[in-house]
Chain A
Amino acid sequence: MFSYYLELALRSLKRSPGLTALMVLAIGFGVAASMTTWSVFRAVSGDPIPWKSSKLFVPQIDMWGPKGRGPDSADNEPPNAMDYTDAMALMHAHRAKLQSAMYQISPSVVPADASKHPINVSGHAVYGEFFPMLDVPFLYGSGWNADDDTQRAAVAVISGKLNDKLFGGVNSVGRTLSIEGKDYRVVGVLGHWNPQPRFYDVVNTGGFSIGVEDVFVPFERAIAMGMPNDGNTNCSEIPSESGFVGLQRSSCIWIAYMAQLDDAAAVSGYRSWLDGYAKDQQTAGRFGWAPNNRLRDVPAFLDQQKVVPSDTKVSLLVALGLLIVCLVNTAGLLLAKFLRRSSEIGVRRALGAPRLAIYAQFLTEAGMIGLAGGVLGLLLTGVGVASVSWVLPKDIASLARLDFSLLTLTLLVAVVATTLAGLYPTFRASRVQPAWQLKSN
């Protein structure tokens, strides 16, 4: 029976090719616009570490107090990064299972080949627990241990990309790397690792980053070597001493922090520890205000930091509006098309076809238009996703890609939406009175 309906639908669509083309075009464009913007939205709003994001927390401590937030600040949100003093206090207390303070660095690397110019690499100064905490994949070797952290060992973890560039892609563990003119021993080479958003350091990356992190060195080593921070520095008051050491003694914020807390008990334990710490600071006279801390997991922190650009959300909203208009348009045209065939419906009903059969027949026809629109939509989505790369900012555009799930969704949305748009016209078609139609003929 289904094949019969298919044949009927095909015949009907052929009868008015203009109208059919119009509906297919509308569905195709509507679906493609929605899917293109969806691909961007999906890319920027995704969970960068879905298996663990609910166990990774970003602590925030109010080291500035109400005055530091400035006169135009409406909420009581503490600063979104840490100063050196508090980051070190948290590290030394070591209350979480795994934790790391980190700051963005951009050191130079001098290739062993003297004929080549030095290059700039970006990376982070982190603690050894950073790697197991974020499940960072290693191609060769591993991260460093707690002893390396405390002894400020000259060790480094490099990206696979930098390894290709400097060591021709071979296992370079144990080899020497010249960072800022000092020798470091390579202890690990990363596999492909480029999480977006950069959830472990949102403040410095703004969420998204085109480059790959090329080098990681021990935090305390970087501090001891005076490796300057490459990211944002925010101050509520001018540091009293100058230089990088002055920055470390100031309340300026430039350090990101992440801690792994496996269960609710650990979270509440950590939370009360943070409050106790802030209270101690208040008693000691360093903070002139009551504890005002936050402890958000990764999804909540990304949300609070508004990592998804509002342009992306507005685009998605507008494109969905376009899809709705296209569907309303299709509903109107299907209504016209179906009711024009009232006499045909009358004959079928008079010959004994139940209403259900009419439903099946016309929804099949709507579904076919949806399918054709979906196929056109697939092509246009391909064009759309490809053109996103020269329209949108590079850090975001590079994340939008065409994959199997997007293609499936495109077809599915086209067919389901068109069938829904066809429901009312079909309902009207099924209500056609056979006697009345036969008489008027």
Chain B
Amino acid sequence: MTLHPMIAALRRHKAGVVLIALQIALTLAIVCNAVFIIGQRIQRVNRPTGLDESNLFLVSQQWVGAPSGDDPASVDKLDSMQQADLAALRSLPDVASVAPINSLPLLNSSWNGSVALQPGKDLRAGNARTTYYFSDEQVLSTLGLHLVAGRAFTAADVQHQAMHDQRGPSIVIMTKALADKLFPKGDALGKVIYLNGDAAPTTIVGLVERMQVPGVGSWTNSFTWNATLAPTRLNANFSRYAIRAKPGRLAAAMHAATPALYATNPMRVLDDDSVKSFADIRAEAYRADVGMAILMGVVCLILLAVTAAGIVGLTSFWVGQRHRQIGVRRALGARKVDILHYFQMENLVIASVGAVIGLLLAIGLNLLLMKHFEMDRLPVIYVLTGIVVVLALGQGAVFVPARRASNVPPVTATRAV
């Protein structure tokens, strides 16, 4: 089949061809970028935090009229209150282990600083940014962190201090990602570092495989896996407890936590938000990403459906318009399949032109999004897949009207319209 008569025919209804090609181009441009956004969000949401998330929950509470924590006596008082809470929670039948902690991955409340290889560096300078988790000797088992080198904290390591106290810990466990950044040779264990521009040294005693920072905003992108664990109970007017329930006993353990804490000390605030499963923390943290992915998915579906329907509509019209010509071709010996191929080929030509324009538009739209909205560069594979999809969509949409065209009987040629 030669393209020449087809192109000659297309030139007779330029406007319709231009509109269909434009529609395909715009669809391709938007769908490519939208699917790229969906892919990125899915990737973000599915990255593991490094925690064993099942059976894990968090209790956040605040004491009423608690001591200020500005003098040693009141810090000790706060710490004994926290220890009483820990003892109460650890004695619950459905609880496997409990660790006091200032935050958790995905919780969006964080304490961040810097790690330096030299003492007295600026807080902002340092060799790497990190987030800090302050906890005790049960932190690894409670969170389900995977120790890959060195040792865990022991009860003897654990200190306590007021939240605004700036003393750094003498030993830490850090994530492998942070250790590798500081010591690219992989010999971080036992090395000395300086936290937050401090002059006092800190020794790395253990490495965990992976642990995410609490923040999920784009501002944490530069240090998502840089976490440092300190064997320190922080004393403030509030406290948080990460609790691992015994397998399958999450609901029961969550239910028992509030009464146990009230029994220890009723002068505290515990409300509906105070006891949260990690699954809920995760869902809340990624709500915006999941929402964006759903929205983009819906838009893509509508776009593809509208474009397919548009092709069906316009091709049907062209088939109707060329009823007589089809009859003539059939009378002159063209087979049904020739007519079918003609319309399929015609659609392929239009869709290809649209796809080429769409490719340029997709890249243009991506550049626009990159410039204004912190998007990444669109990988070529998305555009290529997109082109295949719109071409297939065009072929699928054109099939029904094209088959109707192929069924036009040759006798039509002899009839007046």
The reply to whether chain A is a binding partner of chain B is: yes
B381 at the A interface (CB under 8 A)? no
Cross-chain contact A393 with B287 (CB below 8 angstroms): yes
Partner of A118, one of B20, B64, B123, B196: B64
A180 to B62 Cα, complex, angstroms: 10
8 Å CB contact of A340 from B37, B124, B302, B321: B321
B294 on interface, CB distance cutoff 8 Å: yes
CB of A235 within 8 A of chain B? yes
Which B residues lie within 8 Å of A322 (CB)? 30, 299, 302-303, 306
CB-CB under 8 A from A226, the residues of chain B are 68, 70
Name the B residues within 8 Å of A309 (CB-CB): 288
Contact check, B288 vs A329: say whether CB atoms are below 8 A apart.
no
Cβ-defined partner of A325 (8 Å) among B30, B290, B373: B30
Are B198 and A238 in contact (CB-based, < 8 A)?
Answer: yes
A206 nearest CB neighbor, chain B only: B217
Cβ of A165: which chain B residues have Cβ within 8 Å of it?
A: none
Report yes or no: A311 in contact with B292, Cβ–Cβ below 8 A.
yes
Chain A proximity of B200: nearest CB distance (Å): 11
B142 at the interface (CB under 8 A from A): no
Give the interface size class of chain A: 35 or more
**Would you call B92 an interface residue if the criterion is a C-beta within 8 Å of the partner chain's C-beta atoms?**
no
Contact A332 B299 (CB under 8 A): no
Instruction: Give the shortest distance, in Å, between B271 (CB) and chain A (any CB).
Output: 6
Asked if residues B37 and A314 are in contact (CB atoms below 8 Å), the reply is yes
Q: Quick one: which of B34, B164, B237, B373 has the most chain A CB within 10 A?
A: B164
* Interfacial chain B residues near A247, Cβ < 8 Å: 164
Q: Is A67 an interface residue (CB 8 A)?
A: yes
Residues of A within 8 A of B288 (CB): 309, 311, 392-393
Check if B296 sits within 8 Å of A318, measured CB to CB.
yes
CB distance from B111 to the nearest CB of A (A): 9
Instruction: Specify which chain B residues have a CB less than 8 angstroms from the CB of A29 in the assembled complex.
Output: 302, 306
Assess whether B268 is interfacial by the CB under 8 Å rule.
yes
Q: Specify which of A70, A110, A326, A332 lies most central, judged by the most chain B CB atoms within 10 Å of its CB.
A: A332
A428 in contact with B15 (CB, 8 Å): yes
> In the complex the two chains form, what is the Cα distance from A424 to B22 in whole Å?
15
Task: Fill in one digit per residue for A295-323: 1 if any B CB lies within 8 Å of its CB, else 0.
Answer: 00000000000000111011101110110
* A68–B313 touching, CB < 8 Å: no
Given contacts A322-B299, A335-B16, contact A71 B309 (CB under 8 A): no
Residues of B within 8 A of A120 (CB): 62, 269, 271
Contacts of A180 in B (CB 8 A): 64-65
User: Which of B15, B33, B269, B294 lies in contact with A391, CB distance below 8 A?
Assistant: B294
In the assembled complex, A242 has its CB within 8 A of some CB on chain B: yes
Picked from A18, A108, A246, A314, the residue with its CB within 8 Å of the CB of B62 is A108
A318 contacts B314, C-beta separation under 8 Å = no
Q: Per-residue 0/1 for A377-399: is the Cβ within 8 Å of any B Cβ (1 yes, 0 no)?
A: 00000000000000111100000
Q: Are A319 and B70 in contact (CB under 8 A)?
A: no
A215 contacts the other chain (CB 8 A): no
A310 to B62, CA, bound (A): 34
Residues on B with beta carbons closer than 8 Å to the beta carbon of A326 = 306
CA distance A366 to B65 in the complex (A): 69
Q: Does B310 contact A (CB under 8 A)?
A: yes
| A70 to B124 CA separation, bound complex (whole angstroms) | 5
A203 to chain B, nearest CB (A): 13
Is B262's CB under 8 angstroms from A340's CB?
Answer: no
Q: Does A353 contact B (CB under 8 A)?
A: no
B320–A333 touching, CB < 8 Å: no
Q: Is A22 an interface residue (CB 8 A)?
A: yes
Q: A336 near B314 (CB under 8 angstroms)?
A: yes
Which of A119, A247, A424: most chain B Cβ within 10 A?
A119
Chain A residues within 8 Å of B175, by CB: none
Roughly how many angstroms separate A110 CA and B222 CA in the complex, as a whole number? 43
> In whole angstroms, what is the CA distance A237 to B197 when docked?
8
Checking A239, A313, A333 against B313 with a beta-carbon cut-off of 8 angstroms, the contacting residue is A333
| A187 located at the interface, meaning its Cβ lies under 8 Å from any Cβ of chain B in the complex | no
**Chain A residues with CB below 8 A from B295, complex form:** 37, 315, 391
Residue in A closest to B60 when the chains form the complex, CB atoms: A120
Let me know if B19 is at the binding interface, CB within 8 A: yes
Please name the residue on chain B nearest to A108 by beta carbon: B64
Do the beta carbons of B34 and A318 come within 8 Å of each other? yes
**B165 proximal to A (CB < 8 A):** yes
Give the distance in Å from the alpha carbon of A243 to the alpha carbon of B269 in the complex: 22
Within 8 A of A (CB), among B27-72: 27, 29-30, 33-34, 37, 62-65, 68-70
Given A180-B64, A311-B292, A335-B16, decide whether A325 and B27 contact each other with a Cβ distance below 8 A: yes
In the assembled complex, the CB of B368 is this many whole angstroms from the nearest CB of chain A, namely 8
What would be 17 A-B contacts, judged by CB atoms less than 8 Å apart? Answer: A69-B124, A117-B269, A180-B64, A228-B237, A236-B123, A237-B123, A242-B164, A245-B70, A246-B164, A309-B288, A310-B374, A314-B369, A322-B299, A328-B22, A332-B19, A336-B16, A428-B15
4 cross-chain pairs, A with B, having the tightest CB-CB distances, nearest first: A181-B65, A336-B317, A332-B19, A243-B70
Besides the known contacts A324-B26, A328-B23, 4 further A-B residue pairs in the complex with CB atoms under 8 A apart: A70-B124, A108-B65, A228-B237, A243-B68
Q: CB within 8 Å of A: which residues of B? A: 15-16, 19-20, 22-23, 26-27, 29-30, 33-34, 37, 62-65, 68-70, 122-125, 162, 164-167, 196-198, 222, 236-237, 262, 266-271, 287-288, 290-292, 294-296, 298-299, 302-303, 306-307, 309-310, 312-314, 316-318, 320-321, 365, 369, 372-375
